[in-house]
Structure 1
Amino acid sequence: MAEKQYKIGEFSRKVNLSSFTLRYYEDEGLIKPRRNQNGQRFYGEQDVKWLKFLLHLKGTGMTMAELKQYVAWRAQGDATIQQRIKLLRRVKQDAEDQIRELENNLAIVNHKIDWYSGKLDETINADEDFEQYLKKFE
């Protein structure tokens, strides 16, 4: 059975990205569509899987330069596995750091909500400011 071939519009819907974005990724060398005998670009299921993986990397905060480097190393084969691991570990650490920072920011927002709620239901003294309230959690 022949592989399903997606024209750019179909592929765009399949991966939930605009045709403009797909062309940009193509120009940046992240994806390489094939061409049919009429010169029209098409994509296959492997392209769907590859792009979804790239979007996971992008979702970690990986920059375009890092994505391009990863793609270049991947194209060079197994000789670059150590470089890819090093890059992925750094990206992973950066993403984990961002998650911790976001969790800390959310904790402050939750405390602020609780403080406001306490002011409304009078479970917090009227003269207690937010800074004093936060000291309870140190």
Structure 2
Amino acid sequence: MANTNSDHGYTLSEFSRIVDLPIPTIHAYERQRIIKAHDSQSGRRVFTDEDVDWVKCLVHLKAAGMSLKDIQEYVAWQDLGDQTIPNRVSLLERTRDEFIKKNQRILQHLQVVDDRIAWYQAKESGESVGNEPFSQYVKDRGHTE
């Protein structure tokens, strides 16, 4: 959560549209202290370009599997300054490693789907005959559960 001296401020509805998040989600993130609105000179709550950049980063962290609890911790460390960089790096590495494992499982599932498509296409074209039980199919191709 960056503090900024940016002169441009976005209203909540503008910010919502720019970051493509519903207003209730933004409110929830504010309650969880993941994002913070700034007070403008006129007393209105506004968001800045840096807030837009932070939310874009946040979306990637969430998509990579980082929990809101971990994001809150990340934000707290960020607010404490550079001495917490090792903590942030460790959290990001753990998130990356878990994401890689999850992605490998997803790719394995995709391979099973692709293999089944190929098998059905071969059966349809007459290149393959008979039935192939799924358990045998998985075993023959070296797939795990």
The two structures have a TM-score, normalised by structure 1, of 0.91
The match for 2:69 is: 65
The one of 46, 53, 64 equivalent to 1:49 is 53
**Does residue 1:114 correspond to 2:105, yes or no?**
no
Runs of 4+ in 1 over 3 A off after TM superposition: 127-136
The match for 2:91 is: 87
Quote how far apart the aligned CAs of 1:38 are.
4.5
Higher relative contact order (CA 8 A, sep 6+): 2
What letter is aligned with 2:113?
A: V
Counterparts of 1:39 and 1:19, CA distance in 2 = 19
Counterparts of 1:8 and 1:30, CA distance in 2 = 15
Quote how far apart the aligned CAs of 1:110 are.
0.9
Counterparts of 1:124 and 1:130, CA distance in 2 = 15
Residue 9 of structure 2 contacts residue 40 of structure 2 at CA under 8 Å; is this kept in 1?
no
Counterparts of 1:39 and 1:52, CA distance in 2 = 26
| 1:126 aligned counterpart, secondary structure | coil
The one of 19, 22, 28 equivalent to 2:26 is 22
Counterparts of 1:88 and 1:129, CA distance in 2 = 42
Counterparts of 1:127 and 1:74, CA distance in 2 = 58
The one of 41, 64, 81 equivalent to 1:77 is 81
Residue 7 of structure 1 contacts residue 42 of structure 1 at CA under 8 Å; is this kept in 2?
yes
Percent of aligned positions with the same letter in both sequences?
A: 35
The one of 11, 35, 58 equivalent to 1:7 is 11
Quote how far apart the aligned CAs of 1:112 are.
1.3
The match for 1:137 is: 141
Quote how far apart the aligned CAs of 1:137 are.
2.9
Q: How many residues align?
A: 137
The one of 38, 51, 61 equivalent to 1:34 is 38
| 1:98 aligned counterpart, secondary structure | helix
Counterparts of 1:24 and 1:11, CA distance in 2 = 14
**Does residue 1:98 correspond to 2:102, yes or no?**
yes
Structure 1, unmatched stretches of 5+, are none
1:4-29 deviation per Cα after TM superposition (whole angstroms, max 9, x unaligned) = 21000000000000111111111100
What letter is aligned with 1:4?
A: H
1:118–1:131 CA distance, 2 compared to 1 (3 A): farther
- CA-atom RMSD in angstroms: 1.6
